[in-house]
Chain A
Amino acid sequence: MEFFAKGKIYDFMGKSIFLLTISALLVIASWGLLAMKGLTYGIDFSGGTLVQVKYEQHAPIAQIREQITQDKLFANALITEFGTPEEVVIRFASTTDNVGQDVGDRIRELLQGTGKFDIRKVDIVGPKVGSELREKGMMAAGLGILGILLYIAFRFEWRFSIAAIVALIHDVSITMGAIVLFDIEMSLDVLAAILSLMGYSINDTIIVFDRIREELTKSKKDNLLEIINYSVSKTISRTTLTSFTTFLVVATLFFFGGEIIHGFSFTLLIGIIVGTYSSIFIAATLLKWFGFDVESYKTKEALKEKNKIEKAKMRAMYEKGTV
């Protein structure tokens, strides 16, 4: 069973302007969404309380709201359906620092009489903890990008590194645009998905870059466009198929994993699609646009090789005792 048997060389570079324009538009649209609509932060980052309640029959949302708002503390409570009509989450910004009697207990009291219910979960995040988690989140994201940047610069040439990071920012931006568009709450789980996505999107990009590097050293070709087209075409089966297998499992997570990790699986789902697209169509073409020059790269690599051989010779002579 094969999808890519023909070994056709596609002309990616020829369409590069078209592809880059589409990507740029998507990214700008995403940034626009982020700026205007903005992310909805979960209580992990904004602090607050979340109570998840399951009823035996359809949850009586109106009645719930009426009974809860009797207490002024919960005047701005947000009550939304969670996965099924029987389950709701009640969310509000206030917390208390009392251990023995907390706002979750208060809600439980206020809900008496709304029907037969089961308190599934209570999360209370105080303001200090919320801001700490925000900081940690940003640190993690920043370090992630830095780590990847350094690693690729180390394994490839610096332009590869920049191209990879631009592709990464492209992927994360569009994914976050989707998150805003579909009203996904920004929680710790979603952040974890974004970080995993960063690591994973780079995987695909590296597969392509690895092939380009191989072609640069091995083949006689000098034309960068040709090399890129050839490399990407040769690796398209790999990138598509590896993304496909991961896509399969993320899809099962999305459909069967339950409402709790819904934000997580949604983020990964979109991220994998966008990441694959960018690895094939965007990352390599950026190399050309950053002024990568085949000649100078080959010369540099040849120089590196020469130095290595020199060093090995010196060491051999030293060991023989002639120096």
Chain B
Amino acid sequence: MSSGKLNYRLVIFFIAVIFGVGMSMPTFLQSEKGAKVSLGLDLQGGLHMLLGVKTEEAIQSKIKSIASSIKFFAQRGDIIIDDLRIAEEKITLTLLDKDEEKKLDAMLKEISGLLINKEALFYTLTLDEKEKVLIKEYAISQAVETIRNRLDQFGLAEPNVAKQGEDKILVELPGIKTAEDEQRARELIAKAAHLQLMAVDEKKQDRANNMSPNEAAQYGDVILNDAKSDTIRYILKEIPVLDGSMLSDAKVGFSDMQQPVINFTLNSEGAKIFGDFTANNIGNRLAIVLDNKVYSAPNIRERIGGGSGQISGGFSVKEAHDVAIALRSGALLAPVTLLEKRSVGPSLGADSIQASLIALISGFSLVVAFMMFYYRLAGFIANIALIVNLFLVLAVMAIFGATLTLPGMAGIVLTIGMAVDANVIINERIRELLREGLAVRQAVEKGYANAMSAIVDSNLTTLITSIILYVYGTGPVKGFAVSMSIGIMVSMLTAILGTHGIYEFLMPRIEKSRNVTLWFGIKGSK
């Protein structure tokens, strides 16, 4: 065994080999510990959505909430106000007792962001711009939180929910097995879960089916349908007694008749308001309204101090379960809209993986065969570098937490063809120099030196386009840009440095053999 030089290039190459094989093992073995390459949604199946948020509705909600508070505190403080109304984005009321003006003003000043406009005793209240912006921002971040909570409780693996840009939400839910499950997840995400407890306007209820919404509005009422039937309608006072923000818990339970129901409990403030209202409204009905549909309107028989209630209304167990999750995670005050959806079923994901692997293996085999055939041992050395290249690409992707997508797999397959390009260029140069009569050692050294500029230039231009693709691409295309870029950079290490190191190590042997046909695949001897 002739002693070759253990040169720095070879050492670096060995380190790369160990690193590459070691760091890519977790991905191959799918082990618990260690950084792994995660599969994109197009390979493992799942749901990807881009949602928009209707922030104007959040403002409307806030206005209603404020109106509820004003009503409650006015009653508490014995301030007699009349005609408390909501119209578009303003609240109007008339103060009947002039002596209470200071008290009312003081109370109103407590509410942040409220613009108070007074004409004698007629108040017009609106929200200032800064408050509106705050509400909108809060609506988006709250939507992200809420959706994340709901999906966490839905029980699927690792959902990813994040704000994107200024007003969009990205939702990624891997591993959904059926289209029905996917729809259930989407419905859970989109559920407003806006719970309101509203008083039935007993004086006008008998005209509920005949009154127009405009007329009802004039009375300060709103007409809502029953959840189970569109023909049953209720006239309710538009300002709710309570809303879902005062919920402290919601759980699935069963009614006396073994029907699934949702039992909810209120926080202390909510319990107080609830207690006061029920005490003052014995004999009247309180409507339990979920997402603007009346689920039930039981009679108030006594003061309820415990702060709990029940929503019943023909739920299946799954539906009750989902509603409870939605209530627990908080209402989505601003509804979400669908901007983009990509959902891939698990069977397609598996097929895509299979197709990519077949392409990878066949591409690899063809290239390896060609290199061996055309360049003999020089080709064999290039092939070693290629194998190490593949391990390294996987290792680097694992460390950076990159996601492997279908185009990403295509990128890896492409890298196979491009990584050997460097070796082709170098080997062709070496052959040319050998034909010109140079000694083997010089031919190899000069070959590497001369080929460098061409290789660096061509790899850099491919890198430029890869980077542009990464910046401007979305999802799967980004995956392609990532694997291409990593592949090219790694190939500079393996195909150039690595093979050079191997040649240096083997040089004494090559010189001794004097067999250029074996080593470089060209005719003639030297």
Residues in A lying within 8 Å of B, measured CB to CB: 1-2, 5, 7, 52, 54, 95-102, 104-105, 108, 118-126, 128-129, 133, 136-137, 139-140, 143-144, 147-148, 151-152, 155, 188-189, 191-192, 195-196, 198-200, 202-204, 206-207, 210-211, 234, 237-238, 241-242, 244-250, 252-253, 256-258, 260-261, 264-265, 268
A5 in contact with B522 (CB, 8 Å): yes
Nearest A residue to B353 via CB reads A258
In the assembled complex, how far is the CB of residue A53 from the closest CB belonging to chain B, in whole angstroms?
Answer: 10
Name the prevailing secondary structure of the A interface residues. helix
In the assembled complex, how far is the CB of residue B50 from the closest CB belonging to chain A, in whole angstroms?
Answer: 6
- B217 contacts chain A at the CB level, 8 A cutoff: no
Contact stretch, chosen from B202-210, B355-363, B499-507: B355-363
Which residues of A lie under 8 Å from residue B359 when comparing CB positions? 252-253, 256-258
Which residues of B lie under 8 Å from residue A108 when comparing CB positions? 179
In the assembled complex, how far is the CB of residue A277 from the closest CB belonging to chain B, in whole angstroms?
Answer: 17
Contact A195 B468, CB 8 Å, known A121-B343, A121-B344 = yes
B363 in contact with A140 (CB, 8 Å): no
Q: A96 to B339, alpha carbons, bound, how many Å? A: 9
Set B338, B344, B370, B473: member contacting A245, Cβ < 8 A: B370
Chain B contacts with A in 448-480, Cβ cutoff 8 A: 453-454, 457-466, 468-469, 471-474, 476-477, 480
- B421 contacts chain A at the CB level, 8 A cutoff: yes
Contact stretch, chosen from B113-121, B123-131, B224-232, B427-435: B427-435
Q: A189 to B405, alpha carbons, bound, how many Å? A: 12
Return 8 A-B CB contacts under 8 Å, by A number.
A2-B521, A151-B464, A200-B462, A203-B421, A206-B461, A238-B429, A242-B424, A268-B414
Set B340, B362, B407, B424: member contacting A252, Cβ < 8 A: B362
In the assembled complex, how far is the CB of residue B55 from the closest CB belonging to chain A, in whole angstroms?
Answer: 15
Nearest A residue to B341 via CB reads A124
A136 in contact with B420 (CB, 8 Å): no
Nearest B residue to A191 via CB reads B477
Nearest B residue to A4 via CB reads B428
In the assembled complex, how far is the CB of residue B439 from the closest CB belonging to chain A, in whole angstroms?
Answer: 19
Q: A140 to B481, alpha carbons, bound, how many Å? A: 12
Set A105, A147, A207, A249: member contacting B454, Cβ < 8 A: A207
Contact A133 B343, CB 8 Å, known A203-B461, A203-B462, A210-B454 = no
A2 in contact with B431 (CB, 8 Å): yes
Q: A253 to B411, alpha carbons, bound, how many Å? A: 10
Which residues of A lie under 8 Å from residue B406 when comparing CB positions? 260-261
Number of A-B contacts (CB under 8 A): 238
A257 in contact with B473 (CB, 8 Å): no
Which residues of A lie under 8 Å from residue B337 when comparing CB positions? 97-99
Contact stretch, chosen from B82-90, B98-106, B185-193: B185-193
In the assembled complex, how far is the CB of residue B97 from the closest CB belonging to chain A, in whole angstroms?
Answer: 48
6 closest Cβ contacts across the A-B interface? Answer: A199-B465, A258-B355, A203-B458, A246-B417, A99-B190, A249-B417
A102 in contact with B341 (CB, 8 Å): yes
In the assembled complex, how far is the CB of residue A78 from the closest CB belonging to chain B, in whole angstroms?
Answer: 19
Nearest A residue to B420 via CB reads A245
A96 in contact with B338 (CB, 8 Å): yes
A253 in contact with B363 (CB, 8 Å): yes
Nearest A residue to B348 via CB reads A120
Having A140-B473, A260-B355, A264-B410, one finds 10 other A-B pairs with CB under 8 Å, namely A5-B435, A100-B187, A108-B179, A128-B339, A189-B477, A192-B407, A248-B367, A253-B410, A253-B414, A256-B359
Q: A244 to B458, alpha carbons, bound, how many Å? A: 16
A147 in contact with B464 (CB, 8 Å): yes
Name the prevailing secondary structure of the B interface residues. helix
In the assembled complex, how far is the CB of residue B357 from the closest CB belonging to chain A, in whole angstroms?
Answer: 9
Set A52, A98, A206, A245: member contacting B348, Cβ < 8 A: A52
Contact A102 B425, CB 8 Å, known A121-B344, A203-B461, A258-B355 = no
In the assembled complex, how far is the CB of residue B358 from the closest CB belonging to chain A, in whole angstroms?
Answer: 5
- B418 contacts chain A at the CB level, 8 A cutoff: yes
B190 in contact with A242 (CB, 8 Å): no
Q: A100 to B473, alpha carbons, bound, how many Å? A: 28
Set B366, B410, B428, B521: member contacting A237, Cβ < 8 A: B428
Q: A198 to B49, alpha carbons, bound, how many Å? A: 31
A140 in contact with B414 (CB, 8 Å): no
Which residues of A lie under 8 Å from residue B374 when comparing CB positions? 1-2, 241
Chain B contacts with A in 392-427, Cβ cutoff 8 A: 406-407, 410, 413-414, 416-418, 420-421, 424-425
Contact flags (1/0) for B350-389 with A, using CB distance below 8 Å? Answer: 0110011011001100110011011110000000000000
Set B183, B343, B414, B416: member contacting A101, Cβ < 8 A: B183
Q: A260 to B410, alpha carbons, bound, how many Å? A: 11
B186 in contact with A195 (CB, 8 Å): no
A248 in contact with B183 (CB, 8 Å): no
A257 in contact with B414 (CB, 8 Å): no
In the assembled complex, how far is the CB of residue A220 from the closest CB belonging to chain B, in whole angstroms?
Answer: 18
Set B189, B341, B465, B473: member contacting A122, Cβ < 8 A: B341
Q: A207 to B344, alpha carbons, bound, how many Å? A: 42
Contact A196 B469, CB 8 Å, known A5-B522, A241-B428 = yes
Q: A155 to B480, alpha carbons, bound, how many Å? A: 27
Set A54, A120, A125, A140: member contacting B340, Cβ < 8 A: A125
Q: A268 to B338, alpha carbons, bound, how many Å? A: 33
B341 in contact with A123 (CB, 8 Å): yes
In the assembled complex, how far is the CB of residue A101 from the closest CB belonging to chain B, in whole angstroms?
Answer: 7
Contact A97 B461, CB 8 Å, known A189-B477, A192-B469, A264-B407 = no
Which residues of A lie under 8 Å from residue B51 when comparing CB positions? 99
Contact A245 B424, CB 8 Å, known A96-B338, A147-B465, A257-B356 = yes
B52 in contact with A97 (CB, 8 Å): yes
Which residues of B lie under 8 Å from residue A124 when comparing CB positions? 338, 340-342
Q: A246 to B410, alpha carbons, bound, how many Å? A: 12
Contact flags (1/0) for B166-188 with A, using CB distance below 8 Å? Answer: 00000000000001000100110
- B523 contacts chain A at the CB level, 8 A cutoff: yes
A195 in contact with B465 (CB, 8 Å): yes
Which residues of A lie under 8 Å from residue B413 when comparing CB positions? 249, 252-253, 257
Q: A125 to B345, alpha carbons, bound, how many Å? A: 18
Nearest B residue to A108 via CB reads B179
B358 in contact with A256 (CB, 8 Å): yes
B461 in contact with A121 (CB, 8 Å): no
In the assembled complex, how far is the CB of residue B467 from the closest CB belonging to chain A, in whole angstroms?
Answer: 9
Which residues of B lie under 8 Å from residue A242 when comparing CB positions? 421, 424-425
Q: A121 to B45, alpha carbons, bound, how many Å? A: 9
In the assembled complex, how far is the CB of residue A254 from the closest CB belonging to chain B, in whole angstroms?
Answer: 9
Set B187, B453, B454, B465: member contacting A196, Cβ < 8 A: B465
Set B186, B347, B376, B414: member contacting A246, Cβ < 8 A: B414
Nearest B residue to A2 via CB reads B522
